[in-house]
Amino acid sequence: MFDAAEGWGVIDGPDVPGGCWVHFSAIAIDGYQVLAAGQRVRFVAEAGEQDGFRFRAVKVWTGDEPPGSSRKAADSSGAFRSSLDIAFDEPR
C-alpha cells in the first residue's frame, strides 16, 4: 500500500515481518516517487519504530540491481543555503 498524497506507504517482504514503512524520499526512481499496490520492488531496510512498524526502508528500487548512488546526499544537494544571526539590542 502507498498513499501518494501522504508520501508514505508499507512494503512487505520475508525479512520484514509485519511490513516495512517507506517514505517517498527512499524511493530511488526517476520522476514522481510513488509505488503502486502489488508492484514488485527491492529494498534495504533498517530496524526502527516508525508509525507502528518495526522496520523502515532506507532505499527502494524497481530493477534487479540497486541504483548507483548518483543521487546527492541531502546536505550536499547544491540547493541554496542560508544562515541568519540575530543580535538583540540591550534593553534600555
Query: For the domain that residue 10 is a member of, what is the CATH number?
Result: 2.40.50.140
Alpha carbon 52 to its chain centroid, in Å, reads 17
| pTM across the whole model | 0.67
Query: Which domain does 47 fall in, by range?
Result: 2-30+39-66
What is the spatial distance between Cα 36 and Cα 77, in angstroms, rounded to a whole number? 28
Structure confidence by residue, pLDDT tens digits, 53-90: 999 999 999 988 888 754 444 455 556 666 666 777 77
5 pLDDT more than 90: yes
Residue 50 lies in a domain: yes
Residue 74 lies in a domain: no
Residue 91 lies in a domain: no
Number of domains, the chain: 1
- Residue 72 is predicted with a pLDDT of 47
Structure confidence by residue, pLDDT tens digits, 20-46: 999 999 999 888 999 998 899 999 999
* CA R_g for the chain: 18
User: Who wins on pLDDT, 52 or 84?
Assistant: 52
Strand partners, 10: 21
Residue 6 lies in a domain: yes
SS3 of 59-77? EEECCCCCCCCCCCCHHHC
At 72, which amino acid appears? K
CB atoms inside a 10 Å sphere around CB 92:
3
Total residue length of the chain: 92
Residue 85 lies in a domain: no
Residue 14 lies in a domain: yes
